[in-house]
């Protein structure tokens, strides 16, 4: 299953209504070079599609310069309405509110995998949504299980189950009782990154495809979102062993490739979990996006940014920028 994508001749970077734009001041400095940033206007689009980076950070609580980075999270806007929440890493609960997100408006929540820096704020986001007026069920879609990793359905049961859940008092989300809307969990087969991609029927306005990726022992997914013939790709956390992902999407020419930029190219990095900058460049070269946006950033990956950009450039000659929290990209 390969989505049909259209190559655009230009890219406008905008934000969504209620979004707080990222800083346009001089970019933060590292020990080696300035971090390349995309200019972010003061308002997000009231029409069209945009993907907002709610959290651009990683698994370590880090503060760099004038701002920190929340755990990984994205918000899809369609015509000024938030429609999809992708991941809810630690700290993204606040970013979701800053952006103007509401669970009452969402078609679904998607999870790339169940590490804390991607799902740690899910309970808080759901708890907040319980104070809204939503009545329709809410799909929550994520990977299946493996040793020491529950599948998405089991994860929600452990989190919210009425009898033995960590937050049993919110157990109404499991069955739609106690004035709560009901969650509809769905597990996507991952097969250690070798399973077939799956189409997700969450909206008639846009299409979403889940692509299994390899992320060490953790079952994991990347996502492709298509709207009116244009697409964005979210790699999720993946290693270079995500060979089927690269083959399935080769030559697809998305408007933007959001790559998770967690490690540098030095020895001692967890390469069985993540792509190095050189491997990100190889992936971008294969997919041929108009723009590569590095997110899920850590200080260990940003400090040697000049070396990382050079390594990426060996495989990909297009524009490369680094995301910050609340950046919004139209497509």
pLDDT at 33: 65
207-217 per-position pLDDT tens digit: 999 999 999 99
In-domain check, residue 10: no
In-domain check, residue 303: yes
pLDDT at 26: 35
210-240 per-position pLDDT tens digit: 999 999 999 999 999 999 999 999 999 999 9
In-domain check, residue 140: yes
Q: What value does the mean pLDDT of the chain take?
A: 90
In-domain check, residue 31: no
Residues in the chain: 331
In-domain check, residue 180: yes
pLDDT at 309: 97
* Of 76, 101, 110, residue with least CA distance to 184: 110
In-domain check, residue 325: yes
* Of 204, 213, 299, residue with least CA distance to 259: 213
pLDDT confidence bin for 42, thresholds 50/70/90: low
Task: State the total domains in the chain.
Answer: 1
The CATH number of whichever domain residue 174 belongs to comes to: 3.60.15.10
Q: Does the pLDDT at position 20 exceed 60?
A: no
Catalytic annotation, pick one of 87, 117, 121, 144: 117
Calculate ∠ Cα 309-315-316, nearest 5°: 70
pLDDT at 65: 65
Domain extent for 216: 49-330
In-domain check, residue 17: no
137-190 per-position pLDDT tens digit: 999 999 999 999 999 999 999 999 999 999 999 999 999 999 999 999 999 999
Q: Does the pLDDT at position 125 exceed 50?
A: yes
In-domain check, residue 21: no
Is 87 considered catalytic here?
A: no
DSSP string, 104-147: GG-SEEE-S---HHHHTTHHHHHHHHTTS---S-EEEEEE--BT
């Amino acid at each position: 299953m390969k989505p049909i994508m259209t190559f655009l001749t230009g890219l406008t970077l905008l934000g969504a209504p209620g979004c707080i734009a990222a800083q346009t001041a001089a970019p933060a400095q590292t020990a080696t070079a300035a971090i390349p940033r995309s200019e972010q206007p003061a308002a997000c689009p009231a029409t069209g599609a945009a993907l907002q980076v709610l959290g651009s950070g990683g698994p370590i609580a880090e503060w760099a310069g004038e701002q920190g980075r929340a755990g990984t999270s994205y918000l899809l806007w369609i015509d000024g309405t938030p429609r999809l929440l992708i991941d809810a890493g630690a700290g993204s609960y606040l970013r979701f509110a800053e952006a103007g997100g509401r669970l009452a408006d969402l078609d679904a929540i998607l999870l790339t995998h169940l590490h804390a820096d991607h799902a740690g704020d899910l309970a808080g986001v759901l708890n907040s949504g319980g104070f809204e007026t939503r009545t329709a069920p809410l799909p929550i879609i994520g990977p299946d299980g493996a040793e020491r990793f529950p599948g998405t359905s089991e994860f929600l049961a452990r989190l919210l189950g009425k009898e033995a859940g960590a937050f049993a008092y919110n157990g109404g989300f499991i069955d739609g009782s106690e004035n709560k809307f009901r969650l509809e969990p769905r597990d996507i087969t991952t097969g250690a990154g070798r399973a077939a991609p799956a189409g997700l029927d969450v909206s008639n306005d846009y299409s979403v495809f889940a692509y299994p990726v390899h992320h060490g022992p953790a079952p994991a997914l990347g996502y492709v979102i298509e709207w009116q013939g244009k697409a964005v790709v979210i790699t999720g956390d993946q290693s270079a062993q995500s060979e089927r992902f690269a083959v399935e999407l080769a030559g697809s020419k998305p408007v933007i490739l959001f790559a998770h930029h967690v490690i540098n190219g030095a020895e001692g990095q967890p390469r069985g979990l993540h792509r190095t900058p050189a491997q990100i460049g190889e992936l971008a070269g294969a997919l041929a996006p108009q723009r590569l946006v590095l997110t899920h950033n850590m200080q260990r990956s940003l400090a040697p940014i000049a070396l990382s950009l050079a390594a990426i450039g060996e495989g990909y000659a297009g524009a490369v920028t680094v995301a910050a929290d609340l950046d919004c990209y139209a497509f």
